[in-house]
Structure 1
Amino acid sequence: MYRRTRRAVVSSLLASSVVCGGAVVLAPAADAAAPAASCTVTPGPNDTYVTITGEGFTAPRKLNDGESTVDLAVGPDGTFRVQRFQKNVDYTVLAANENQNFVFVNCKRVGTAATPKPQNPQNTTPPLQPGSRRDVAQGRAAGTQAGAAAAKKSCETKPVADKSGAQHSDAYWQAWSQAANRSFNRVCNNR
């Protein structure tokens, strides 16, 4: 969904809640002091993903990125945390039920203190784009090292990618697998 379409969807949700007597839905009741809900988008350390966090929400909730809407796992304390690869989009947290406070909350983009500011912008390299040639080249280099290391330990066990750490694109992992297998077979066949 594009920005205009998303605004139309959010506007229609808002209008339907008002028509259904949901003017109370937009703000908590005066006697029940509900905490304000907030949502932030923080870039990852290598700028390959964003982390979206929120607090003050009641379950169930949905996250909209302008093109798709997914369910959020809101904890009992009203918080959530997800990682997404769509970095340059506006995220919105939507209510799943009409009787929830804070029908929609736009997420605010914040910087990270862990990202150092470059001293000389002429000598900086652009951030790694998922699926780019540099991303594939890094996957190939890492796979070659992993394949050789696995072969040195034992030619019985092929290398397996550890995808639990850094977030990489599918192109990176394909290049990693091909290079790891090629390196593994080359070392084991030369024994």
Structure 2
Amino acid sequence: MYNYIKALHIVFIVTWFSGMFYIVRLFIYNTEAGEKDEPEKSILRKQFTIMIKRLWFGITWPSAIITLIFGPLLWWKLNVLPDWLIIKLFFVLGLYAYHFSLHVIYKQHMQGIFKYSSQKLRIWNEVATIFLVAIVMLAAVKQNMSVVWGLAGLVGFVVVLMSAIKIYKNIREKK
């Protein structure tokens, strides 16, 4: 039974992350639609609103909830709380905080409030990537991972990721 629960947990983690990655892309496109002339602006905003709502409540929220059901069930079946899992749970809490921040942005977009530039949203989109790398590394490598090397690797990954965003912005601005 443990392996079935684990498999389902992984499936819903994947769909949850997919939803979080794509929702921010839709926020970016919805924000950038504001730079278009009418009637293109209204048409795009209407379509993005439908897409955002369906993705958020049809995939992302259900996946977050089901992940939250299967995760503790796995922990209960494991019947132990190893050090790597404690660290992973802190990252998972951070991921849920990130999810709730996306919900705030979702509500703003539904009200026609666009507080963040597309560049800020692009950076915010990568926060999920950082959580993904940290959580997967902890789940896969477990107790074999050094805390110091793990954190150093995560910081290095963040530096590379932010550099890539900056380079991409420069390339986009030159076009």
What TM-score results when the alignment is normalised by the length of structure 1?
A: 0.24
User: Of the two, which has the highest radius of gyration?
Assistant: 1
Name the structure with the higher helix share. Answer: 2
Q: Which has the higher strand share?
A: 1
Instruction: Give the TM-score normalised by structure 2.
Output: 0.26
Query: Does 1 or 2 have the higher relative contact order (CA < 8 Å, sep 6+)?
Result: 2
